[in-house]
Amino acid sequence: MPKCLPIPELIERQSRNFRARAPKSDGCWEWTGNLSTTGYGRVSLGGQVFLAHRVAYFLANGECPTDLLIRHTCHNHRCCNPSHLISGSSADNSQDMVDHGRSTRGEQNYASVLTDKNVATIKTKLITPCQNQIILLAREYEVCPSSIRNIKSGKTWKHIEVVGFNPTPPALCNRTPIPELTLKQLRNFWARVRKGVGKDDCWEWVGDHIKKGYGRLRLGGRNFLAHRVSFFLANGELPSDLIIRHTCNNPPCCNPNHLKSGTCADNTRDRIVSGRSIRGEQNCISVLTEEFVTAIKIACKTPFPGQIKLLAKKYKVHVNTIQTIKAGRSWAHVRV
Ligand SMILES: [Zn+2]
Ligand SMILES: [Zn+2]
């Protein structure tokens, strides 16, 4: 196992930028910047690329030995919460790899405290949700609540199949009531909404996004989905058990006229009716064509610094769109 690059001391601006891209929360501090193909956060410091969780460990502990591996106890590669990070020697890891192969997962991973049997029981219990279930299960199994949340959302332990258990996407299973916004928060909110010129145009969120393209903002230290906040502002209330759907099928849209409330079942029906599961060019959210994606993929074969930004600008899409194409997480059916 090659040694990792030593992490340099961060200057104030670098650590500020770093922390801004790993917003603190009660659970995992998910990296919102660049990701590696295996889903780890990447950060560039002084022209060198480092793994974000290693930098987080370094910032919290004052050191990050080059021959130590930093593991996630929460199994969430994007997580930069130092309390979810533990170090292990590369010797341990080599032994682990020899014993179990590179793709050791679940119980075979020595960082894990849950067993396959535990997870099957947890999944069975998750089928019938109850109040504070995540916290109670976390206590029962002596793990971090995010471990349970990740099992619930299908992020981890996917290979343990339990009849009747369906993963719930995190955005849908963990909703906090939206607080009243202060004037300053309101101004910040609307500053990040780009209203279309036409009466029926989408109002796209131009701030931070979550994976599926929904806008995200922070209010009083917590993350909220931008379109939910918009619905709340327009209607004065938002029952936390309801989801807000886009009639325009455009996740970043915050136009209250394109938003309606409904249940999860309604949403699934919508998806089927509108054919949102169809991929690539046929998908109505997409602004790229297969031709453009082919060109992007060819360009990415000869990378250079700043390329992602340039391509995003050229094709008028978000940098994340280019990153996911490059990493093969989207448009995987377009081969070059
Ligand atoms: Zn975590
Ligand atoms: Zn819209």
Rounded to two decimals, the pTM is 0.34
Does some domain include residue 3? no
> What spacing in Å lies between the alpha carbon of 197 and ligand 2's midpoint?
12
Say what the pLDDT of residue 159 is.
Answer: 86
- The ligand placed nearest to the CA atom of residue 78 is 1
Q: At which of 124, 139, 173 does a domain end?
A: 173
Highest mean pLDDT among 37-41, 85-89, 217-221, 226-230: 226-230
Ligand 2 midpoint to CA 35 (Å): 28
Tell me the backbone φ, ψ of residue 35, rounded to 5 degrees.
-120, 150
Task: Please name which of 262, 57, 40, 38 lies closest in space to residue 172, comparing C-alpha atoms.
Answer: 262
- Total domain count, the chain: 4
Assess if residue 191 is contained within a domain: yes
Least confident of 67-81, 92-106, 149-163, 292-306: 92-106
Say if residues 56 and 82 touch (Cβ distance below 8 Å). yes
pLDDT at 174 over 60: no
Name every residue whose Cβ is closer than 8 Å to that of residue 258 and which is 6 or more positions away in sequence: 202, 246, 247, 248, 250
139 is a domain residue: yes
Instruction: Identify whether the C-beta of residue 223 lies closer than 8 Å to the C-beta of residue 207.
Output: no
Q: Is residue 137 within 8 Å of residue 124, measured between CB atoms?
A: no
Domain extent, residue 289, equals 280-327
The amino acid present at 101, given as its one-letter code, is G
- Range in 144-158, 182-196, 218-232, 273-287 with the lowest mean pLDDT: 273-287
Ligand 2: distance of its center to the CA of 254 in Å? 7
Task: Assess whether 269 and 221 both reside in one domain.
Answer: yes
321 has a pLDDT exceeding 60: yes
Coil vs helix vs strand at 223: strand
Q: Per-residue pLDDT for 251 more than 50?
A: yes
Average pLDDT over residues 154-172: 79
Which ligand is nearest to the Cα of residue 213, counting in written order? Answer: 2
The answer to whether residues 211 and 262 belong to one domain is yes
Instruction: Look at residue 72 and give its three-state secondary structure.
Output: strand
Neighbours of ion ligand 1 (CB under 5 A): 28, 74, 76, 79, 81, 84, 146
Residues 242 and 320 in one domain: no
- Whether the pLDDT of residue 9 is over 50: the answer is yes
- Distances in Å between the alpha carbon of 117 and those of 26, 56, 106, 141, 147? 27, 32, 11, 12, 15
Same domain, 188 and 269: yes
pLDDT at 185 over 50: yes
Residues of the chain with pLDDT > 70, as a percent, come to 81
The verdict on 23 and 94 lying in the same domain is yes
Cβ within 8 Å of residue 284, ≥6 positions away: 249, 274, 275, 276
pLDDT digits (tens, 9 = 90+) for 115-151: 788 899 999 999 888 777 887 888 787 777 778 888 8
How far, in Å, from the CA of 203 to the mean position of ligand 2? 6
237, 254, 273: which is the final residue of a domain?
A: 273
Which comes out higher in pLDDT, residue 228 or 332?
A: 228
* Nearest ligand to the CA atom of 148: 1
User: What CATH number is associated with residue 61?
Assistant: 3.90.75.20
Q: Which residue has the higher pLDDT, 105 or 46?
A: 46
User: Under a CB-based contact definition with an 8 Å cutoff, are residues 162 and 124 in contact?
Assistant: yes
- Phi and psi at 204, nearest 5°, equal -85, 140
Q: Which ligand is nearest to the CA of 79?
A: 1
Ligand that comes closest to the CA of residue 83: 1
